[in-house]
Amino acid sequence: MPVGYSDQSDQDLVQGCLRGDERAAREIIRRFEKPVFSLIYRMVRDRELAEDLSQEAFVRTLNNLRRYDPSYKFSSWLFKIAYNLTIDHLRKKELEVVSIHGAPDAVTPDQQAATSIALETRHERPDQLFEARTLGSEIEEAIDELRPEYRTAILLRHVEGHSYEEISEIMDVPLGTVKTYIHRARGELKIALLHLLEP
Amino acid sequence: MSKHLTQDEIELFANAGGSPAPEARRAHADTCARCLEDIRAWRALDGLLVRLRQISPAPGFTSRVMGRVRLPVPLHERALALARRRWAVVTAAAATLALTVTGSAYWLFGSQGLTPLEVGVFVLGGARDLAVRGLLALGRVAYDFGLVDAGSTFADQLSPTQALGGLALAGMMGLLAAATMMRLMRPAPRLVVTPSRD
């Protein structure tokens, strides 16, 4: 009987799952539940919804392991599924997203402004606002103000520590686009957090 | 004055001190106030972002996921499942045969005023005869091959009673074999979701 699941590599755990080893599946969930949930939560800002989307991401991942290509990093595949689920959800709720950040394909500030609607159309409950503040106060709020694509890219790079190439795979965009997202996200964060960045 | 550092170079200098960068770029980074400020700002922002903690889902998350996960069934389990299905078919066939033989025997001999016990004894007698004749047939085969010097053919004088007895014997032996195999091939433990530790 295999022991030390926490010491096994992601690939070994995947192989275990493919052999029907339930504990390998549990270890995968244990290993990635926080990063996946954190990313999704910071994208949707709704704990219940983030739970549902995270759960769905893990279920889809584990139920489709036969389709996983081992030449790719497992975490990238998992995050890709989680990201796609979340983005699909956000696109369905496009009105809310557009209302804050402009249309997803708006690149220039003018385009973003032209496709933006008033912030008041976003219905965030008071308890969610309170939670956002307590979670990471000003940094969380600054992250929250980024467009979903920028937010995802910067969180994957600076919180989860993924490489640009991995982020490119996860978000299914060219490497140059990832760099642009991160550059713009950093620029916006620098402005929002200027008072915290002063020496 | 050389060109300012690119974003990639700023990240490189911020994270690795610019050690892999060419000498000319390092010289620029050391002297350009704008680039130095960019590198400092990059590091400062990194310092803020790492403060973002990871958030845990609600307790029981793993169990909720596992409740919906269908892990692949291992090859040996699939083989056993197939074998179990085959033995179920064999068992059902043997049981049907035994019932048919018993029913037929009762129908044939019950009308002659025999009790079920007498019918059973009669059928068992036939089965015994059949077994003996089978052995004799084996002996005949052995005789034909020159292994022994006496024997008889199997179907020389096979009466209906003996045929029924033979079928009943075969049915009972089939049942016995199936029951034994079922015990030997007891279902392997299934993948059961164990209680959560989270």
Distance to chain A for B74, nearest Cα, Å: 5
Residues 6+ apart with CB under 8 A from B123: B101, B105, B161, B164, B165, B168
pLDDT digits (tens, 9 = 90+) for A128-153: 555 444 445 788 889 989 999 999 99
**Least CB–CB distance from B65: residue in A47, A55, A135:** A55
Lookup result for tokens 């990313």: A39
Instruction: Report whether B130 contacts B169 (CB < 8 A).
Output: yes
Alpha-carbon span A28 to A13, nearest angstrom: 7
**Least CB–CB distance from A37: residue in B44, B55, B69:** B55
Instruction: Write out chain A residues lying below 8 Å of B72, CB-based.
Output: 17-20, 65-66
Strand, coil or helix: A27? helix
Q: Region B5-14: what's the mean pLDDT?
A: 82
DSSP B2-26: PPPPPHHHHHHHHHHTTTTS-HHHH
How far is the first Cα of chain A from the last one, in angstroms, to the nearest whole number? 55
B62 to A193: CB separation less than 8 angstroms, yes or no: no
Query: Which residues of chain A from 127 to 166 reach within 8 Å of chain B, CB to CB?
Result: 135-136, 139-140, 143, 154-155, 158-159
Q: What percent of chain B has pLDDT over 70?
A: 73
User: What is the CA angle B185-B187-B190, rounded to 5?
Assistant: 150
Strand, coil or helix: A132? helix
Q: Is the ipTM of this complex over 0.95?
A: no
Q: What is the pLDDT of residue B17?
A: 67
- Chain B, nearest residue to A58 by Cα: B65
* Window from A7-11, A176-180, B15-19 with minimum mean pLDDT: B15-19
**pLDDT above 80 for A197:** no
Q: What does the mean pLDDT of chain A come to?
A: 81
Residues 6+ apart with CB under 8 A from A65: A14, A17, A18, B72
Alpha-carbon span A177 to A81, nearest angstrom: 19
Alpha-carbon span B127 to B169, nearest angstrom: 6
**pLDDT above 90 for A198:** no
Q: What is the pLDDT of residue A1?
A: 47
**Least CB–CB distance from B62: residue in A26, A135, A186:** A26
B69, two tokens: 């996960």
Q: Region B163-181: what's the mean pLDDT?
A: 76
Instruction: Write out chain B residues lying below 8 Å of A26, CB-based.
Output: 62, 66
DSSP chain B: -PPPPPHHHHHHHHHHTTTTS-HHHHHHHHH-HHHHHHHHHHHHHHHHHTTPPP-PPPTTHHHHHHTT--PPPPHHHHHHHHHHHHHHHHHHHHHHHHHHHHHHHHHHHHTTT--HHHHHHHHHHHHHHHHHHHHHHHHHHHHHTTS-S----TTTT--HHHHHHHHHHHHHHHHHHHHHHHHHTPPPPP---PPP--
Instruction: Write out chain A residues lying below 8 Å of B10, CB-based.
Output: none
Q: Region B184-196: what's the mean pLDDT?
A: 50
How far is the first Cα of chain B from the last one, in angstroms, to the nearest whole number? 60
pLDDT digits (tens, 9 = 90+) for A84-106: 999 999 888 764 544 444 444 45
Give the residue from A14, A8, A21 showing the smallest Cα distance to A66: A14
Give the residue from B94, B58, B83 showing the smallest Cα distance to B167: B94
**pLDDT above 50 for B2:** yes
